[in-house]
């Protein structure tokens, strides 16, 4: 009886499932049949394309009307091959030619030529448009004003390279047009003024130079998926232009960081001009120019929503050096940074000895880092992967610890009465936690007697920090707790 009853229940369940399926199919056909038909039409008719790389074809009447020749109508193919296009971000979005906003603007150009000017630091971009459409000349880009600034930060300085745009009408069907048979460089080129102030601080090279270019490549879809072997960085001063130890540092830094952007050597724009057929004109299929405030330091509002790009940059740089970006150390290592120059720790040896004699820190590896100059970039990054708590002065030196392993903590001091100097970077990191050590009273720093303690510039540049063990150890204890807590 039990088996017969069970069999009947199974049969009933199967019949019920079949009936429900038929009802759903019938209702779905009636309710959604038209919608399904519309979607099918949208994605399968000849009027659409999902390639994403080709433009919408020109209307026949438009192409015929603006044809440069009766036999050769204006076409999408001609537009993509002969004429220029551009996309810009930053600056005044309502007027892409305003002089006042060139320091904030970044652009990507297609099919343009660049000319140098021996008498000034100005560069001219030849922007080609169909000669048959004369009205375009007033709608593309305003000319005669400086359009782009080719360095990070605010415009200025004797060597602040700038770009102006020159509109050049062209008839691609005219065999005699001098711009018809131009030779273009086919990959992506980035024009950049590396280290304009000759500042070889490694942290600033990372985040003012390399990260700025990396972020620009990410913001333009056309280059987002390019691999480094398709990107080229062009600079106004190559490493060979720097003297003495600056040359060595420049080579070390560019070889250690820029592979995240390009697998080619960083080269000067002049060397490219010198190697071209026309030594004063280079043509690019894809040119990224105008760095503006694309770096990470000092531009807090621009870092909003950049957390993913920061994470990608860290991952790509570590992978470039064959380091696993997901390392989490199994035991603690505290690194104290002994910095020379501005904003150093005045009593680091005293703090180190107190830590060694503190019972709750017994058995923990504690290291003073005196200098990184004898380490390669790879060795520095490998060292940082062993560190769980880094204690660093603020400034460029602290930026190295962006590459600490996951779950680690950076304790970074401020300078007097300025507690969060690089917060515009640290606030957007998710792989590590940052604890700021504030300097809040006159007994927490020393200043050479020729400077006044109410002089903000002197405090920033010449005050040495006196670490208070009670305050610092409380933050170290907090760091131990933080490293043990699972990240969200």
Which residues on neighbouring strands pair with residue 409, listed in sequence order? 389, 433
Would 58 be classed as within a structural domain? no
Tell me the C-alpha distance between 285 and 183, whole Å: 9
Would 364 be classed as within a structural domain? yes
What SS3 class is residue 405? coil
Which residue among 263, 289, 315 closes a domain? 289
Banded pLDDT at 30 (limits 50, 70, 90) = very low
- Tokens at 471, concatenated: 């305050």
| Stretch 81-103: mean pLDDT | 75
What pTM did the predictor assign?
A: 0.81
Q: Determine the pLDDT at residue 8.
A: 65
User: Over the chain, what is the mean pLDDT?
Assistant: 81
Cα angle for residues 302, 306, 310 (degrees, 5° grid): 120
Cβ proximity of 405 and 327 under 8 Å: yes
Tell me the C-alpha distance between 95 and 145, whole Å: 12
How does DSSP assign 28-67, residue by residue?
HHHHHHHHHHHHHHHHHSTT----SSSPPPPPHHHHHHT-
Q: How many CB atoms lie within 10 A of CB 429?
A: 16
Would you say residue 234 has pLDDT above 60? yes
Number of H helices, E strands in the chain: 15, 16
- R_g of the chain computed on alpha carbons: 30
Banded pLDDT at 314 (limits 50, 70, 90) = very high
Q: Determine the pLDDT at residue 270.
A: 82
Would 62 be classed as within a structural domain? no
- Name which of 141-155, 252-266, 276-290, 465-479 the model is least confident about: 141-155
- Name which of 138-147, 232-241, 441-450 the model is least confident about: 138-147
- Tokens at 81, concatenated: 């091959």
Q: 79 and 208: one domain? A: yes
Would 281 be classed as within a structural domain? yes
Q: 281 and 204: one domain? A: yes
Beta strands in 41-180 (DSSP E): 85-89, 106-115, 122-130, 148-149, 162-170
Which residues on neighbouring strands pair with residue 233, listed in sequence order? 190
Would you say residue 47 has pLDDT above 60? no
How many residues would you count in the chain? 488
Q: 83 and 148: one domain? A: yes
Banded pLDDT at 21 (limits 50, 70, 90) = low
132-178 pLDDT tens trace = 888 888 787 767 677 788 776 655 555 677 888 889 999 988 889 99
Q: 218 and 310: one domain? A: no
Q: 253 and 363: one domain? A: no
- Tokens at 4, concatenated: 């017969």
Q: 79 and 205: one domain? A: yes
End-to-end Cα, the chain, rounded Å: 57
Give me the percent of the chain exceeding a pLDDT of 90.
31
Q: 105 and 178: one domain? A: yes
| Stretch 244-259: mean pLDDT | 87
Q: Determine the pLDDT at residue 481.
A: 95
- Cα 38 to chain centroid distance, Å, stands at 42
Would 64 be classed as within a structural domain? no
Q: Determine the pLDDT at residue 113.
A: 94
Tell me the C-alpha distance between 430 and 427, whole Å: 9
Q: How many CB atoms lie within 10 A of CB 92?
A: 14
Assign residue 395 the CATH number of its domain.
3.40.50
Q: 285 and 321: one domain? A: no
Q: 180 and 317: one domain? A: no
- The answer for 31, left when phi > 0, alpha when psi is -120 to 50, beta otherwise, is alpha
What SS3 class is residue 413? strand
461-474 pLDDT tens trace = 888 889 999 999 99
Q: 93 and 198: one domain? A: yes
Would you say residue 259 has pLDDT above 50? yes
356-380 pLDDT tens trace = 999 999 999 999 998 788 889 999 9
- Name which of 201-210, 317-326, 390-399, 437-446 the model is least confident about: 201-210
Would 279 be classed as within a structural domain? yes
- Name which of 147-156, 222-231, 324-333 the model is least confident about: 147-156
Give Cβ neighbours of residue 254 (< 8 Å, ≥ 6 apart).
Answer: 194, 239, 266
Tell me the C-alpha distance between 127 and 112, whole Å: 5
Banded pLDDT at 38 (limits 50, 70, 90) = very low
Would 423 be classed as within a structural domain? yes
Give me the percent of the chain exceeding a pLDDT of 70.
80
Would you say residue 258 has pLDDT above 70? yes
Beta strands in 267-341 (DSSP E): 267-268, 281-289, 333-337
Banded pLDDT at 320 (limits 50, 70, 90) = very high
What is the pairing mode between strands 106-115 and 281-289? antiparallel
- Tokens at 153, concatenated: 């930060």
C-alpha count within 13 angstroms, C-beta hemisphere, residue 296: 30
How many domains does the chain contain in total?
A: 2
Cβ proximity of 426 and 408 under 8 Å: no
| Stretch 211-224: mean pLDDT | 79
Q: 236 and 330: one domain? A: no
Banded pLDDT at 452 (limits 50, 70, 90) = confident
178-193 pLDDT tens trace = 998 889 999 999 988 7
Would 25 be classed as within a structural domain? no
User: Which carries the bigger pLDDT value, residue 267 or residue 408?
Assistant: 408
- Name which of 38-42, 249-253, 304-308, 320-324 the model is least confident about: 38-42
Cβ proximity of 439 and 417 under 8 Å: yes
Q: 389 and 262: one domain? A: no
Can you list the alpha helix ranges (DSSP code H) found in 175-235? 202-204, 211-219, 221-224
- Tokens at 57, concatenated: 């074809």
Phi/psi at 44 (5° precision): -130, 0
Would you say residue 268 has pLDDT above 90? no
Domain range for residue 180?
A: 72-289
């Amino acid at each position: 009886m039990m088996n017969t009853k069970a069999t009947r229940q199974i049969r009933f369940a199967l019949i019920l499932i079949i009936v429900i399926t038929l009802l759903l199919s019938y209702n779905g056909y009636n309710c959604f049949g038209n919608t399904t038909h519309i979607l099918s039409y949208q994605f399968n008719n000849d009027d659409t394309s999902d390639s994403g790389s080709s433009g919408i074809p020109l209307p026949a009447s438009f192409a015929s009307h603006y044809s440069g020749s009766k036999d050769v109508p204006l076409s999408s193919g001609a537009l993509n091959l002969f004429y220029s296009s551009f996309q810009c971000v930053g600056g005044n979005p309502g007027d892409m030619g305003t002089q006042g906003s060139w320091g904030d603007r970044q652009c990507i150009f297609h099919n343009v030529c660049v000319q140098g000017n021996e008498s000034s630091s100005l560069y001219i971009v030849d922007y080609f448009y169909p000669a048959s459409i004369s009205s375009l000349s007033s709608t593309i880009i305003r000319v005669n004003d400086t359009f782009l600034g080719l360095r990070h930060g605010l415009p200025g300085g004797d060597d602040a390279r700038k770009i102006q745009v020159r509109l050049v009408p062209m008839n691609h069907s005219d065999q005699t047009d001098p711009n018809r048979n131009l030779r273009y460089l086919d990959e992506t080129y980035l024009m950049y003024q590396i280290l304009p102030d000759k500042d070889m601080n490694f942290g600033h090279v990372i985040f003012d130079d390399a990260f700025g270019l990396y972020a620009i490549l990410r913001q333009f879809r056309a280059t987002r998926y390019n691999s480094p072997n398709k990107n080229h960085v062009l600079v106004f001063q190559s490493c060979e232009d720097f003297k003495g130890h600056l040359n060595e540092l420049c080579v070390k830094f560019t070889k250690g960081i820029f592979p995240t952007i390009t697998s080619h050597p960083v080269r000067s724009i002049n060397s490219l001009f010198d190697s071209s057929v026309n030594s004063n004109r280079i043509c690019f299929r894809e040119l990224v120019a105008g760095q503006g405030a694309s770096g990470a330091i000092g531009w807090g509002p621009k870092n909003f929503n950049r957390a993913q790009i920061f994470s990608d940059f860290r991952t790509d740089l570590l992978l470039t050096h064959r380091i696993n970006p997901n390392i989490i150390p199994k035991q603690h290592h505290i690194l104290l940074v002994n910095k020379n120059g501005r904003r150093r720790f005045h009593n680091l040896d005293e703090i180190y000895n107190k830590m060694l004699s503190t019972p709750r820190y017994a058995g923990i590896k504690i290291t003073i880092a005196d200098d990184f100059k004898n380490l390669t970039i790879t060795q520095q990054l490998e060292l940082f992967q062993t560190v769980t708590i880094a204690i660093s002065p603020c400034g460029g030196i602290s930026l190295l610890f962006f590459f600490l392993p996951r779950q680690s903590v950076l304790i970074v001091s401020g300078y007097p009465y300025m507690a969060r100097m690089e917060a515009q970077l640290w606030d957007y990191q998710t792989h590590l936690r940052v604890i700021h050590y504030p300097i809040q009273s006159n007994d927490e720093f020393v200043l050479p007697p020729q400077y006044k303690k109410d002089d903000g510039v002197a405090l920033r540049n010449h005050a040495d920090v006196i670490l208070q063990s009670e305050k610092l150890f409380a933050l170290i204890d907090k760091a131990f707790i933080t490293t043990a807590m699972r990240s969200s």
